[in-house]
Amino acid sequence: MNRDTGLVCDQTIALNGFYAAKHYPSHLRRIRYRDPESGKTLVFLTNQFALPALTICGLYRCRWQVELFFKWIKQHLRIKRFYGTSENAVRTQIWIAISVYVLVAIIKKQLRLDVTLHTLLQILSLTLFEKLPMQQAFGRVDPVENNLISDRQLKLFEF
């Protein structure tokens, strides 16, 4: 195999354990790949024989990125309970969590913030009901006197 690309071996195997062979008698493809970035050797098992071995390695790499994305969502956009039990209600809540993630990532990029998305979410959750400019919440602008109160607004207390 071509070790310059990271591909170590591409084999066709059969499972030989009693229950494994009984429940999955078909052949599998075993691909060993050495990741040039991390130096780790990875082994992939698949029933896909039509695609080239490096394509399968690339697909697993992309899939791993998706897994990391959902792991981050589970850890940081905690869905503590579902407000509905139907499939549509659960899917809707998951889409809302994904939308929040994307919006927070956009805010981070547009404001050029040097904080993690987790820290950004914590700051946003603490300042959710405060009426202040977004840059001020992140300490990027000096606080100024709040001129948002109109002269027509009634005052409860005079100082």
Upper half-sphere CA count for residue 46 (Cβ side, 13 Å): 17
DSSP codes of every residue in 75-109: HHS-----S--SHHHHHHHHHHHHHHHHHHHHHHH
Per-residue pLDDT of the chain (159 residues; tens, 9 = 90+): 666 788 999 999 999 999 999 999 999 999 999 988 888 999 999 999 999 999 999 999 899 888 888 787 777 776 777 788 888 988 888 888 888 888 888 988 888 888 888 888 888 888 777 777 766 777 655 545 444 445 556 666 665
Q: Is 104 exposed, middle or buried (0-12, 13-18, 19+ CB in 10 A)?
A: middle
- pLDDT of res. 54: 94
Closest CA to 7 of 57, 45, 72: 57
Domain boundaries, the chain: 1-65, 77-135
Report the helix count and the strand count for the chain, using DSSP H and E. 5, 3
- Amino acid found at 98: I
9 forms beta bridges with 32
Task: State the Cα–Cα distance between residues 78 and 76, nearest whole angstrom.
Answer: 5
- pLDDT of res. 136: 72
